[in-house]
Amino acid sequence: MGVTVLQQFPMVENRTGPQTIEFLTKRVVALGAVQTGQFLVDCETYMSVPNLGPQRTVHVVHNSEAPASVFAVLESGQRSVPLVADGLFDLLMQKMATIYSKKQPKIEAKGPRFEIADFCVKLGSVTMGQNFKGVLVEVEYRPCLVASSCWELVREFLQGFLGSVVPATPPPYLQNRMNELYQPIDTVNQYLEQFAQYRKATGVR
């Protein structure tokens, strides 16, 4: 487990999602990466029923990188409460169906996973419900746990195969936590941030 940076790859007019993934796969493999299976990050969103006061939202996220865990982020107003639990949490959510109901379609990112030296690269195509929404690129630099120490390195690596779309600043979520120890929940929060963007956007981004 190391610092993970999540990066959105903008879609081009005349290229479909699978083509984009294939295009990026070729570039990553050209760098010497080896494919090590698939990955999947999915997010279910539950809303509290209206008669319980102010609206609260719970995002339940599964990450194939931590197969034994279930991540949950509770958002009420400006506050967000993260939780990491084991697989039984899913069953608990089913029990609470009267309090939290599913309103929004499931959103997920899945695709191939690569390893290249100390880096782990994941190319995920984002789908909401059945609709393709875009492509997310996740890069993990495993030897390091502090984002500020390795952001430059990761950015350079990202630029190596994504080109100029990589911004000069880290993702907004990471910016406030550049000097803290990186936790698995931070990856999940970055995904939630990106998923929220996809929800707002209409069509492919």
Positions in the binding site for another protein (CB under 8 A): 1, 64-71, 84-88, 91, 183-185
With respect to another protein, which residue has the nearer C-beta, 57 or 69? 69
With respect to another protein, which residue has the nearer C-beta, 91 or 168? 91
- CA pair distance 57, 72, nearest whole angstrom: 10
- CA pair distance 149, 145, nearest whole angstrom: 8
Helix axes 147-162, 17-30, angle to 10 degrees: 110
With respect to another protein, which residue has the nearer C-beta, 105 or 184? 184
Q: What is the secondary structure of 71-116 as a DSSP string?
A: EEEEEETTEEEEEEEETHHHHHHHHGGGTEEE-SPPEEEEEEEEEE
Q: How far is the CB of 53 from another protein (least distance, A)?
A: 28
Q: Write the CB contacts of 116 (distance below 8 Å, at least 6 apart in sequence).
A: 28, 31, 32, 33, 34
Q: How far is the CB of 112 from another protein (least distance, A)?
A: 16
With respect to another protein, which residue has the nearer C-beta, 22 or 90? 90
